[in-house]
Amino acid sequence: MSRWDAAGRPAPGHCAAAEFRSDTKPRTRKDDSVDGGVTAAEAGAKGRAAADQPAVGRPAGAAATNGDTRQDGAGLPAADQLGLALPGQLTGAQLTVGQLSAGQLAAGQLAAGQLTAGQMTAGQAARPQLLRALNEQLLLNHIRQLGRCSRADLARLSGLSKPTVSLALANLERAGLVREAGQRTGVPGRSAVLYEIRPGAGYVLGLDIGRQYLRAALADLTGEVLARSSVRSHASSVTGRVDQLAALADDVSADAGISRAAVTQTVIGSPGVYDPGRNAITLPGSLAGWGRPAVLKALRAAFGDQVVLENDVDAATLAERDHGHGRDFGTFAFVSIGTGIGMGLVIDGKLHRGVHGAAGEIAYMPISDGHGVNEGDARRRGTLEAAGSASAIVRAARQAGMRGVVSARRVFEAAAGGDQRAAEVVAGAAALAAKAVCAVITVVDPELVVLGGGIGQAPGFADAVTAELRKLAPVLPDVRVSALGTYAVVDGCLASGGSLAWQRLTALPVAPATEVAPA
Protein backbone atom coordinates (compact mmCIF):
# COMPACT_ATOMS: atom_id res chain seq x y z
CA MET A 1 0.00 0.00 0.00
CA SER A 2 1.42 3.37 -0.95
CA ARG A 3 1.80 5.74 1.96
CA TRP A 4 1.14 8.55 -0.45
CA ASP A 5 -2.16 7.39 -1.94
CA ALA A 6 -4.81 9.93 -0.96
CA ALA A 7 -7.45 7.29 -1.50
CA GLY A 8 -5.42 4.95 0.64
CA ARG A 9 -5.68 1.91 -1.61
CA PRO A 10 -4.92 1.00 -5.22
CA ALA A 11 -8.02 1.17 -7.41
CA PRO A 12 -9.92 -2.14 -7.74
CA GLY A 13 -8.64 -4.22 -10.64
CA HIS A 14 -5.69 -1.86 -10.88
CA CYS A 15 -4.12 -2.78 -14.24
CA ALA A 16 -3.40 -6.14 -12.68
CA ALA A 17 -2.21 -8.19 -15.59
CA ALA A 18 -3.00 -6.27 -18.71
CA GLU A 19 -0.28 -5.11 -21.08
CA PHE A 20 -1.57 -2.16 -23.04
CA ARG A 21 -1.14 -2.73 -26.75
CA SER A 22 -2.59 -1.40 -29.95
CA ASP A 23 -2.61 -2.97 -33.37
CA THR A 24 -3.54 0.27 -35.06
CA LYS A 25 -1.14 2.83 -36.46
CA PRO A 26 -0.96 6.19 -34.72
CA ARG A 27 -3.27 8.83 -36.17
CA THR A 28 -1.95 12.24 -37.13
CA ARG A 29 -5.10 14.34 -37.13
CA LYS A 30 -4.54 17.63 -35.33
CA ASP A 31 -7.97 17.55 -33.69
CA ASP A 32 -7.45 14.28 -31.79
CA SER A 33 -8.68 14.56 -28.20
CA VAL A 34 -5.56 12.89 -26.73
CA ASP A 35 -2.07 14.09 -27.50
CA GLY A 36 -0.49 10.70 -28.06
CA GLY A 37 2.92 12.21 -28.63
CA VAL A 38 3.56 12.65 -24.89
CA THR A 39 4.34 9.73 -22.59
CA ALA A 40 4.06 9.70 -18.82
CA ALA A 41 7.80 10.13 -18.48
CA GLU A 42 7.86 13.07 -20.91
CA ALA A 43 4.93 14.56 -19.05
CA GLY A 44 6.89 14.13 -15.83
CA ALA A 45 9.62 16.34 -17.23
CA LYS A 46 6.96 18.91 -18.11
CA GLY A 47 4.85 18.40 -15.00
CA ARG A 48 6.11 21.40 -13.10
CA ALA A 49 5.22 23.72 -15.97
CA ALA A 50 1.85 22.05 -16.41
CA ALA A 51 1.14 22.44 -12.70
CA ASP A 52 1.22 26.21 -13.12
CA GLN A 53 -1.94 26.16 -15.25
CA PRO A 54 -5.24 27.23 -13.66
CA ALA A 55 -6.98 24.37 -11.87
CA VAL A 56 -10.40 23.03 -12.75
CA GLY A 57 -12.49 21.57 -9.93
CA ARG A 58 -15.97 21.05 -8.54
CA PRO A 59 -17.55 22.37 -5.33
CA ALA A 60 -18.08 19.87 -2.56
CA GLY A 61 -21.36 18.07 -3.06
CA ALA A 62 -21.78 19.08 -6.70
CA ALA A 63 -22.81 16.42 -9.19
CA ALA A 64 -20.10 14.89 -11.35
CA THR A 65 -19.83 15.97 -14.95
CA ASN A 66 -18.04 14.46 -17.91
CA GLY A 67 -14.31 14.88 -17.49
CA ASP A 68 -14.66 15.61 -13.76
CA THR A 69 -13.00 12.87 -11.74
CA ARG A 70 -13.82 12.82 -8.00
CA GLN A 71 -11.36 10.89 -5.87
CA ASP A 72 -10.71 10.68 -2.18
CA GLY A 73 -9.46 14.22 -1.63
CA ALA A 74 -10.86 17.22 0.16
CA GLY A 75 -14.32 18.41 -0.74
CA LEU A 76 -13.60 22.09 -1.17
CA PRO A 77 -14.45 24.88 -3.63
CA ALA A 78 -14.18 24.73 -7.37
CA ALA A 79 -10.79 26.08 -8.36
CA ASP A 80 -12.30 28.19 -11.13
CA GLN A 81 -14.04 30.10 -8.33
CA LEU A 82 -11.04 30.74 -6.10
CA GLY A 83 -7.98 29.20 -7.66
CA LEU A 84 -7.69 26.45 -5.05
CA ALA A 85 -7.19 22.92 -6.30
CA LEU A 86 -9.17 19.98 -4.99
CA PRO A 87 -7.44 16.78 -3.85
CA GLY A 88 -7.97 14.03 -6.38
CA GLN A 89 -9.35 16.30 -9.10
CA LEU A 90 -7.77 17.21 -12.41
CA THR A 91 -5.75 20.34 -13.04
CA GLY A 92 -6.20 22.82 -15.87
CA ALA A 93 -6.92 21.03 -19.15
CA GLN A 94 -4.89 18.03 -17.95
CA LEU A 95 -5.57 14.36 -17.49
CA THR A 96 -3.78 12.34 -14.87
CA VAL A 97 -2.01 9.31 -16.27
CA GLY A 98 -4.07 6.25 -15.42
CA GLN A 99 -7.32 8.11 -16.14
CA LEU A 100 -8.97 8.72 -19.47
CA SER A 101 -10.86 11.70 -20.81
CA ALA A 102 -14.54 12.57 -20.54
CA GLY A 103 -16.83 9.59 -20.75
CA GLN A 104 -14.01 7.02 -20.65
CA LEU A 105 -12.92 4.40 -18.14
CA ALA A 106 -10.00 5.09 -15.79
CA ALA A 107 -7.07 2.89 -16.71
CA GLY A 108 -6.48 2.25 -13.03
CA GLN A 109 -9.77 0.31 -13.06
CA LEU A 110 -9.06 -1.62 -16.22
CA ALA A 111 -9.20 -5.36 -15.66
CA ALA A 112 -7.99 -7.93 -18.15
CA GLY A 113 -10.76 -8.88 -20.54
CA GLN A 114 -12.98 -5.92 -19.71
CA LEU A 115 -11.73 -3.40 -22.22
CA THR A 116 -9.47 -3.67 -25.24
CA ALA A 117 -6.97 -0.98 -26.10
CA GLY A 118 -8.92 -0.04 -29.21
CA GLN A 119 -11.99 0.69 -27.06
CA MET A 120 -10.28 3.01 -24.60
CA THR A 121 -11.55 6.18 -26.24
CA ALA A 122 -15.05 6.96 -27.38
CA GLY A 123 -15.03 5.63 -30.94
CA GLN A 124 -11.25 6.05 -31.34
CA ALA A 125 -8.32 3.65 -31.14
CA ALA A 126 -5.84 4.31 -28.34
CA ARG A 127 -2.48 5.52 -29.56
CA PRO A 128 0.70 3.55 -28.84
CA GLN A 129 2.16 6.62 -27.12
CA LEU A 130 -0.77 6.74 -24.71
CA LEU A 131 -0.42 3.04 -24.01
CA ARG A 132 3.26 3.49 -23.25
CA ALA A 133 2.36 6.30 -20.88
CA LEU A 134 -0.14 4.07 -19.09
CA ASN A 135 2.49 1.33 -18.78
CA GLU A 136 4.91 3.83 -17.27
CA GLN A 137 2.28 4.94 -14.76
CA LEU A 138 1.61 1.30 -13.87
CA LEU A 139 5.29 0.67 -13.16
CA LEU A 140 5.55 3.87 -11.13
CA ASN A 141 2.67 2.70 -8.95
CA HIS A 142 4.36 -0.64 -8.31
CA ILE A 143 7.67 1.01 -7.39
CA ARG A 144 5.89 3.49 -5.09
CA GLN A 145 4.04 0.70 -3.31
CA LEU A 146 6.83 -1.87 -3.02
CA GLY A 147 10.06 0.13 -2.95
CA ARG A 148 13.11 -1.12 -4.82
CA CYS A 149 12.23 -3.40 -7.73
CA SER A 150 14.13 -5.07 -10.55
CA ARG A 151 13.00 -5.28 -14.17
CA ALA A 152 12.05 -8.91 -13.60
CA ASP A 153 10.01 -7.99 -10.50
CA LEU A 154 8.09 -5.33 -12.42
CA ALA A 155 7.47 -7.62 -15.39
CA ARG A 156 6.06 -10.29 -13.08
CA LEU A 157 3.91 -7.86 -11.08
CA SER A 158 2.54 -5.93 -14.04
CA GLY A 159 2.19 -8.69 -16.63
CA LEU A 160 4.13 -6.55 -19.09
CA SER A 161 6.87 -8.04 -21.26
CA LYS A 162 10.48 -7.44 -20.22
CA PRO A 163 11.25 -5.29 -23.30
CA THR A 164 8.20 -3.13 -22.50
CA VAL A 165 9.36 -2.77 -18.89
CA SER A 166 12.89 -1.85 -20.01
CA LEU A 167 11.61 0.86 -22.36
CA ALA A 168 9.28 2.31 -19.72
CA LEU A 169 12.01 2.37 -17.07
CA ALA A 170 14.41 4.10 -19.46
CA ASN A 171 11.81 6.81 -20.12
CA LEU A 172 11.07 7.25 -16.41
CA GLU A 173 14.76 7.46 -15.59
CA ARG A 174 15.36 10.10 -18.25
CA ALA A 175 12.45 12.11 -16.83
CA GLY A 176 14.02 12.04 -13.37
CA LEU A 177 11.17 10.12 -11.74
CA VAL A 178 13.10 6.91 -10.93
CA ARG A 179 16.76 6.04 -10.46
CA GLU A 180 18.99 3.01 -10.14
CA ALA A 181 19.33 1.89 -6.53
CA GLY A 182 22.11 -0.68 -6.55
CA GLN A 183 21.96 -4.34 -7.42
CA ARG A 184 20.39 -7.41 -5.90
CA THR A 185 23.05 -9.89 -4.86
CA GLY A 186 23.15 -13.20 -3.08
CA VAL A 187 20.77 -14.96 -5.48
CA PRO A 188 21.59 -17.38 -8.33
CA GLY A 189 22.23 -15.87 -11.76
CA ARG A 190 23.22 -12.39 -12.80
CA SER A 191 22.80 -9.60 -10.28
CA ALA A 192 19.71 -7.51 -11.05
CA VAL A 193 19.67 -3.72 -11.20
CA LEU A 194 17.14 -2.28 -8.75
CA TYR A 195 15.04 0.84 -9.33
CA GLU A 196 13.45 3.22 -6.84
CA ILE A 197 11.58 6.52 -6.86
CA ARG A 198 13.95 9.47 -7.07
CA PRO A 199 13.20 11.39 -3.84
CA GLY A 200 14.06 14.80 -5.27
CA ALA A 201 11.60 14.49 -8.16
CA GLY A 202 9.17 16.58 -6.13
CA TYR A 203 8.35 17.85 -2.65
CA VAL A 204 5.19 18.09 -0.54
CA LEU A 205 4.48 20.74 2.09
CA GLY A 206 1.92 20.00 4.81
CA LEU A 207 0.57 22.72 7.09
CA ASP A 208 -1.76 22.69 10.11
CA ILE A 209 -3.70 25.78 11.17
CA GLY A 210 -4.66 25.47 14.83
CA ARG A 211 -6.05 28.03 17.20
CA GLN A 212 -2.97 27.91 19.44
CA TYR A 213 -0.23 26.48 17.19
CA LEU A 214 0.79 26.44 13.53
CA ARG A 215 2.69 23.36 12.37
CA ALA A 216 4.50 22.43 9.16
CA ALA A 217 6.49 19.60 7.61
CA LEU A 218 8.14 19.04 4.24
CA ALA A 219 8.63 15.61 2.65
CA ASP A 220 10.06 14.25 -0.57
CA LEU A 221 8.20 11.95 -2.96
CA THR A 222 9.22 8.81 -1.08
CA GLY A 223 7.40 10.11 1.99
CA GLU A 224 10.55 10.84 3.97
CA VAL A 225 10.03 13.91 6.14
CA LEU A 226 12.94 16.30 5.64
CA ALA A 227 11.98 18.99 8.16
CA ARG A 228 9.32 19.82 10.76
CA SER A 229 8.57 22.98 12.67
CA SER A 230 5.87 24.56 14.82
CA VAL A 231 5.22 27.99 16.30
CA ARG A 232 2.65 29.36 18.69
CA SER A 233 0.00 31.34 16.84
CA HIS A 234 0.13 34.96 17.90
CA ALA A 235 -1.91 36.55 15.09
CA SER A 236 -5.20 38.22 15.96
CA SER A 237 -6.35 38.73 12.36
CA VAL A 238 -6.84 36.58 9.27
CA THR A 239 -4.08 38.41 7.42
CA GLY A 240 -1.69 37.99 10.31
CA ARG A 241 -2.44 34.28 10.61
CA VAL A 242 -1.86 33.67 6.89
CA ASP A 243 1.36 35.73 6.95
CA GLN A 244 2.63 33.73 9.93
CA LEU A 245 1.76 30.48 8.16
CA ALA A 246 3.65 31.58 5.03
CA ALA A 247 6.69 32.52 7.13
CA LEU A 248 6.59 29.10 8.78
CA ALA A 249 6.44 27.46 5.34
CA ASP A 250 9.52 29.43 4.26
CA ASP A 251 11.37 28.39 7.42
CA VAL A 252 10.62 24.67 7.10
CA SER A 253 11.57 24.75 3.40
CA ALA A 254 14.88 26.39 4.27
CA ASP A 255 15.47 23.76 6.98
CA ALA A 256 14.96 21.08 4.31
CA GLY A 257 17.46 22.81 2.02
CA ILE A 258 15.05 23.83 -0.73
CA SER A 259 13.19 26.96 -1.73
CA ARG A 260 9.41 27.07 -1.39
CA ALA A 261 9.24 27.53 -5.16
CA ALA A 262 10.52 23.94 -5.50
CA VAL A 263 7.50 22.53 -3.63
CA THR A 264 5.31 20.46 -5.96
CA GLN A 265 2.18 20.39 -3.78
CA THR A 266 1.02 22.25 -0.67
CA VAL A 267 -1.85 20.92 1.47
CA ILE A 268 -3.24 22.90 4.41
CA GLY A 269 -5.19 21.28 7.23
CA SER A 270 -7.89 23.69 8.38
CA PRO A 271 -11.03 23.59 10.51
CA GLY A 272 -14.34 23.63 8.64
CA VAL A 273 -15.68 22.73 5.21
CA TYR A 274 -16.25 24.74 2.07
CA ASP A 275 -19.62 26.45 1.54
CA PRO A 276 -20.13 27.10 -2.21
CA GLY A 277 -23.06 29.41 -1.50
CA ARG A 278 -20.83 31.83 0.40
CA ASN A 279 -17.61 30.93 -1.40
CA ALA A 280 -15.99 30.59 2.01
CA ILE A 281 -15.14 28.11 4.75
CA THR A 282 -18.06 27.28 6.99
CA LEU A 283 -18.10 25.59 10.42
CA PRO A 284 -14.67 27.04 11.31
CA GLY A 285 -15.17 26.35 15.01
CA SER A 286 -13.23 28.58 17.38
CA LEU A 287 -10.89 30.01 14.73
CA ALA A 288 -11.97 33.65 14.76
CA GLY A 289 -12.63 35.19 11.36
CA TRP A 290 -11.80 32.00 9.48
CA GLY A 291 -15.23 31.87 7.86
CA ARG A 292 -14.73 35.07 5.86
CA PRO A 293 -14.39 34.86 2.07
CA ALA A 294 -11.13 36.82 2.34
CA VAL A 295 -9.46 33.77 3.93
CA LEU A 296 -9.42 31.76 0.71
CA LYS A 297 -8.13 34.70 -1.30
CA ALA A 298 -5.35 35.27 1.21
CA LEU A 299 -4.29 31.61 1.15
CA ARG A 300 -4.19 31.62 -2.63
CA ALA A 301 -2.09 34.77 -2.67
CA ALA A 302 0.36 33.28 -0.15
CA PHE A 303 0.66 29.74 -1.52
CA GLY A 304 -0.30 29.92 -5.18
CA ASP A 305 -3.12 28.57 -7.30
CA GLN A 306 -2.35 24.91 -6.58
CA VAL A 307 -2.75 25.02 -2.80
CA VAL A 308 -5.24 22.45 -1.46
CA LEU A 309 -7.29 22.66 1.73
CA GLU A 310 -8.08 19.58 3.83
CA ASN A 311 -10.35 19.45 6.86
CA ASP A 312 -7.99 19.12 9.82
CA VAL A 313 -9.69 16.17 11.52
CA ASP A 314 -10.01 14.37 8.17
CA ALA A 315 -6.27 14.91 7.66
CA ALA A 316 -5.53 13.43 11.09
CA THR A 317 -7.75 10.48 10.18
CA LEU A 318 -5.72 9.86 7.02
CA ALA A 319 -2.57 9.84 9.13
CA GLU A 320 -4.19 7.43 11.56
CA ARG A 321 -5.15 5.15 8.67
CA ASP A 322 -1.71 5.18 7.07
CA HIS A 323 0.56 5.35 10.12
CA GLY A 324 -1.46 4.66 13.27
CA HIS A 325 -3.93 2.16 14.73
CA GLY A 326 -6.12 2.37 11.63
CA ARG A 327 -3.59 0.42 9.56
CA ASP A 328 -5.06 -2.82 10.93
CA PHE A 329 -8.74 -1.95 10.47
CA GLY A 330 -10.90 -1.36 7.41
CA THR A 331 -13.60 0.67 9.18
CA PHE A 332 -12.84 2.98 12.07
CA ALA A 333 -13.73 6.36 13.55
CA PHE A 334 -11.17 8.92 14.69
CA VAL A 335 -12.70 11.22 17.33
CA SER A 336 -10.74 14.34 18.26
CA ILE A 337 -11.61 16.08 21.53
CA GLY A 338 -9.64 19.15 22.56
CA THR A 339 -10.16 22.85 21.92
CA GLY A 340 -12.77 21.59 19.44
CA ILE A 341 -14.56 18.32 18.71
CA GLY A 342 -14.66 16.52 15.38
CA MET A 343 -14.56 13.10 13.78
CA GLY A 344 -13.08 11.46 10.71
CA LEU A 345 -14.62 8.26 9.40
CA VAL A 346 -12.92 5.56 7.33
CA ILE A 347 -15.24 2.97 5.77
CA ASP A 348 -13.73 -0.01 3.96
CA GLY A 349 -10.38 1.74 3.85
CA LYS A 350 -11.63 5.00 2.36
CA LEU A 351 -12.20 8.33 4.06
CA HIS A 352 -15.90 9.16 4.01
CA ARG A 353 -16.59 12.86 3.45
CA GLY A 354 -20.31 13.01 2.75
CA VAL A 355 -22.15 14.90 0.02
CA HIS A 356 -21.29 18.36 1.38
CA GLY A 357 -17.94 17.46 2.94
CA ALA A 358 -19.47 17.70 6.42
CA ALA A 359 -19.36 14.02 7.43
CA GLY A 360 -17.85 13.85 10.90
CA GLU A 361 -18.94 17.28 12.13
CA ILE A 362 -20.14 15.70 15.36
CA ALA A 363 -19.62 19.00 17.19
CA TYR A 364 -23.16 19.77 16.01
CA MET A 365 -24.74 16.70 17.60
CA PRO A 366 -27.53 18.03 19.86
CA ILE A 367 -26.03 16.45 22.97
CA SER A 368 -25.22 18.49 26.08
CA ASP A 369 -25.99 16.03 28.92
CA GLY A 370 -27.49 18.74 31.08
CA HIS A 371 -24.39 20.94 31.07
CA GLY A 372 -25.06 24.64 30.97
CA VAL A 373 -24.41 25.72 27.36
CA ASN A 374 -24.50 29.24 26.03
CA GLU A 375 -26.97 29.29 23.13
CA GLY A 376 -24.87 31.64 21.03
CA ASP A 377 -21.78 29.49 21.59
CA ALA A 378 -23.76 26.38 20.67
CA ARG A 379 -24.96 27.94 17.41
CA ARG A 380 -21.44 29.01 16.49
CA ARG A 381 -19.54 25.89 17.53
CA GLY A 382 -22.20 23.20 17.87
CA THR A 383 -23.96 21.92 20.98
CA LEU A 384 -21.60 19.00 21.67
CA GLU A 385 -18.47 21.12 21.28
CA ALA A 386 -19.90 23.88 23.44
CA ALA A 387 -20.62 21.30 26.17
CA GLY A 388 -17.64 18.95 25.90
CA SER A 389 -14.54 20.78 24.61
CA ALA A 390 -11.65 22.15 26.68
CA SER A 391 -13.37 25.48 27.38
CA ALA A 392 -16.46 23.65 28.63
CA ILE A 393 -14.34 21.56 31.01
CA VAL A 394 -12.73 24.72 32.38
CA ARG A 395 -16.17 26.31 32.85
CA ALA A 396 -17.51 23.21 34.63
CA ALA A 397 -14.46 23.09 36.91
CA ARG A 398 -14.91 26.71 37.95
CA GLN A 399 -18.59 26.10 38.60
CA ALA A 400 -17.54 23.15 40.77
CA GLY A 401 -15.38 25.45 42.89
CA MET A 402 -11.85 25.17 41.45
CA ARG A 403 -9.97 28.44 41.86
CA GLY A 404 -6.87 30.05 40.41
CA VAL A 405 -5.64 29.49 36.87
CA VAL A 406 -7.83 26.68 35.56
CA SER A 407 -7.06 24.80 32.35
CA ALA A 408 -8.27 21.47 31.01
CA ARG A 409 -4.81 20.03 31.70
CA ARG A 410 -4.94 21.18 35.31
CA VAL A 411 -8.41 19.68 35.74
CA PHE A 412 -7.20 16.27 34.55
CA GLU A 413 -4.07 16.49 36.72
CA ALA A 414 -6.18 17.37 39.73
CA ALA A 415 -8.54 14.46 39.04
CA ALA A 416 -5.58 12.08 38.81
CA GLY A 417 -4.35 13.48 42.13
CA GLY A 418 -7.60 12.67 43.92
CA ASP A 419 -9.49 15.99 43.71
CA GLN A 420 -13.13 14.89 43.86
CA ARG A 421 -14.48 18.01 42.16
CA ALA A 422 -12.10 17.61 39.23
CA ALA A 423 -12.83 13.88 39.04
CA GLU A 424 -16.55 14.58 38.68
CA VAL A 425 -15.88 17.08 35.87
CA VAL A 426 -13.72 14.53 34.02
CA ALA A 427 -16.33 11.82 34.52
CA GLY A 428 -19.00 14.12 33.09
CA ALA A 429 -16.84 14.86 30.04
CA ALA A 430 -16.25 11.13 29.48
CA ALA A 431 -19.97 10.38 29.76
CA LEU A 432 -20.74 13.10 27.21
CA ALA A 433 -18.10 11.80 24.80
CA ALA A 434 -19.42 8.26 25.22
CA LYS A 435 -22.91 9.35 24.18
CA ALA A 436 -21.54 10.88 21.00
CA VAL A 437 -19.43 7.82 20.24
CA CYS A 438 -22.43 5.56 20.94
CA ALA A 439 -24.43 7.47 18.32
CA VAL A 440 -21.64 6.82 15.82
CA ILE A 441 -21.55 3.13 16.73
CA THR A 442 -25.28 2.68 16.18
CA VAL A 443 -25.02 4.16 12.67
CA VAL A 444 -21.62 2.95 11.41
CA ASP A 445 -20.69 -0.02 13.64
CA PRO A 446 -16.92 0.56 13.32
CA GLU A 447 -14.32 -2.00 14.30
CA LEU A 448 -12.26 0.64 16.09
CA VAL A 449 -12.65 4.07 17.70
CA VAL A 450 -9.46 6.11 18.08
CA LEU A 451 -9.48 9.04 20.50
CA GLY A 452 -7.25 12.01 19.71
CA GLY A 453 -6.84 15.63 20.75
CA GLY A 454 -5.64 17.00 24.05
CA ILE A 455 -8.62 15.65 26.00
CA GLY A 456 -9.08 12.45 24.02
CA GLN A 457 -5.44 11.51 24.68
CA ALA A 458 -5.46 12.52 28.34
CA PRO A 459 -4.45 9.69 30.72
CA GLY A 460 -7.44 7.62 31.79
CA PHE A 461 -9.97 9.35 29.54
CA ALA A 462 -10.26 6.48 27.04
CA ASP A 463 -10.85 4.01 29.88
CA ALA A 464 -13.60 6.24 31.28
CA VAL A 465 -15.25 6.54 27.87
CA THR A 466 -15.06 2.77 27.36
CA ALA A 467 -16.69 2.17 30.76
CA GLU A 468 -19.59 4.43 29.80
CA LEU A 469 -19.90 2.78 26.38
CA ARG A 470 -20.39 -0.60 28.05
CA LYS A 471 -23.57 0.83 29.59
CA LEU A 472 -24.86 2.46 26.40
CA ALA A 473 -23.70 0.85 23.17
CA PRO A 474 -25.33 -2.18 21.50
CA VAL A 475 -21.86 -3.44 20.54
CA LEU A 476 -18.45 -2.38 21.82
CA PRO A 477 -15.67 -1.66 19.32
CA ASP A 478 -12.03 -1.51 20.25
CA VAL A 479 -11.27 1.91 21.80
CA ARG A 480 -7.68 3.15 21.59
CA VAL A 481 -5.75 6.35 22.19
CA SER A 482 -3.99 7.83 19.18
CA ALA A 483 -0.21 7.57 19.37
CA LEU A 484 0.54 9.93 16.48
CA GLY A 485 1.20 13.04 18.53
CA THR A 486 0.80 16.70 17.65
CA TYR A 487 1.79 16.37 13.98
CA ALA A 488 -1.08 14.07 13.00
CA VAL A 489 -2.82 16.72 10.89
CA VAL A 490 0.42 17.61 9.11
CA ASP A 491 1.19 13.94 8.43
CA GLY A 492 -2.26 13.48 6.92
CA CYS A 493 -1.70 16.51 4.68
CA LEU A 494 1.59 14.99 3.51
CA ALA A 495 -0.16 11.71 2.70
CA SER A 496 -2.87 13.47 0.68
CA GLY A 497 -0.37 15.81 -0.97
CA GLY A 498 1.93 13.02 -2.07
CA SER A 499 -0.70 11.52 -4.33
CA LEU A 500 -1.54 14.94 -5.75
CA ALA A 501 2.13 15.64 -6.43
CA TRP A 502 2.37 12.45 -8.46
CA GLN A 503 -0.67 13.48 -10.47
CA ARG A 504 1.03 16.74 -11.34
CA LEU A 505 4.33 15.15 -12.25
CA THR A 506 2.77 12.49 -14.49
CA ALA A 507 -0.12 14.45 -15.98
CA LEU A 508 -0.80 14.09 -19.71
CA PRO A 509 -1.87 17.22 -21.63
CA VAL A 510 -5.20 16.77 -23.41
CA ALA A 511 -7.66 18.91 -25.28
CA PRO A 512 -9.11 21.65 -23.02
CA ALA A 513 -11.86 20.34 -20.77
CA THR A 514 -15.14 22.12 -20.17
CA GLU A 515 -14.81 24.13 -16.99
CA VAL A 516 -17.28 23.69 -14.17
CA ALA A 517 -19.57 26.70 -13.82
CA PRO A 518 -19.42 28.47 -10.46
CA ALA A 519 -22.08 27.36 -8.04
- Assess if residue 177 is contained within a domain: yes
| Beta carbons within 10 angstroms of residue 64's beta carbon | 10
Low-confidence ranges of the chain (pLDDT < 70): 1-126, 186-187, 189, 370-372, 508-519
The DSSP secondary structure of 401-426, one letter per residue, reads: T--SS--HHHHHHHHHTT-HHHHHHH
Per the rule left: phi > 0, alpha: psi between -120 and 50, beta: everything else, 457 is: alpha
- Residue 378 has a pLDDT of 81
Domain range for residue 119?
Answer: 40-200
Give the CATH number, domain containing residue 233.
Answer: 3.30.420.40
The reply to whether 348 and 468 lie within a common domain is: yes
The reply to whether 265 and 341 lie within a common domain is: no
Structural domains counted in the chain: 3
The reply to whether 169 and 217 lie within a common domain is: no
Let me know if 259 is exposed, middle or buried by CB neighbors in 10 A (0-12, 13-18, 19+). exposed
Do you know the residue count of the chain? 519
The DSSP secondary structure of 465-491, one letter per residue, reads: HHHHHHHH-SS--EEEE--SGGGHHHH
- Residue 181 has a pLDDT of 86
- Residue 370 has a pLDDT of 63
- Residue 369 has a pLDDT of 74
- Residue 189 has a pLDDT of 64
Phi and psi, residue 468, nearest 5° = -70, -40
The reply to whether 350 and 493 lie within a common domain is: no
Q: How far is CA 299 from CA 93, 203, 245, 296, 312, in A?
A: 23, 19, 9, 5, 16
Helix 40-50 with 128-146: angle, nearest 10 deg: 80
The reply to whether 191 and 235 lie within a common domain is: no
- Assess if residue 6 is contained within a domain: no
Q: Give the sign of the dihedral formed by CA 58, CA 132, CA 220, CA 489.
A: positive
Looking at 103-185, list the stretches that DSSP marks H as alpha helix, in order from N- to C-terminal side: 128-146, 151-158, 162-174
- Residue 374 has a pLDDT of 74
- Residue 512 has a pLDDT of 38
User: Among residues 412, 399, 372, which one has the least CA distance to residue 388?
Assistant: 372
The reply to whether 207 and 195 lie within a common domain is: no
